[in-house]
Structure 1
Amino acid sequence: MIVLLELEPFAEVLDAGEVDVSARIRWVHAAPTAPDVPEAPGPLTFCGIATSGLEREPYRSTGPGAPWYPPSQRTRRCQACEAALKAL
């Protein structure tokens, strides 16, 4: 399984004429690995959205009982991905 981030871009005006374009995490998703490339995500997340527009998160679950998402992003985890993972 691969953890992916759905980002929400925003712009902040820092000073006259300067804009900081950053990204916030909208949702944390999970995707199965691609069958031919184990380090790449498959085409869809467990909730059914395309992985092509998502950013890879380096977090890996540490084992049974550990969360599939980064603990710091608990409130941003995709509930549909979580439900699909529990059904596996």
Structure 2
Amino acid sequence: MSGIVVLYEVEQADLSVRRVHAAPAAPGTTSVAGPRTFCGRDTFAMETAPWTASADPGATWYPPQHADLMCAACDDAVQS
């Protein structure tokens, strides 16, 4: 799963995580997100998560503590 950057869509009022997205890494990097998530959202206002997607079989691309906030469209794109 290298080349995937995990991003938090943050609630501006209290800085809580609203949704967890995945984006392809920008060309030439492994930790900077490209301009759009896999679901098509702009990454500009999102925060890079302190989580790295694992290449281990069965590992999730998103942090387990935020499984309930994972973007289903990003998950579909990552899994395909």
TM-score range, shorter chain: 0.7 to 0.9
Where 2:65 maps in the other structure, the secondary structure is helix
Q: Does residue 73 of structure 2 align to residue 80 of structure 1?
A: yes
Once the two structures are TM-superposed, the CA of residue 32 in structure 1 deviates from its matched residue by 0.3
Where 2:20 maps in the other structure, the secondary structure is strand
Q: 1:6-85 alignment to 2 at 5 Å?
A: 6-10=9-13, 22-62=14-54, 63-85=56-78
Q: TM-score, normalised by structure 1?
A: 0.80
Where 1:51 maps in the other structure, the secondary structure is coil
Cα distance in structure 1, aligned partners of 2:32 and 2:53: 16
Higher-strand-fraction structure: 1
- Which runs of no fewer than 5 residues in structure 1 stay unpaired? 11-21
- The structure having more radius of gyration, on CA atoms, is 1
Where 1:3 maps in the other structure, the secondary structure is strand
Runs of 4+ in 1 over 2 A off after TM superposition: 36-39
Aligned length in residues: 76
Where 2:50 maps in the other structure, the secondary structure is coil
Give the AA of the match of 1:82: D
- Which runs of no fewer than 5 residues in structure 2 stay unpaired? none
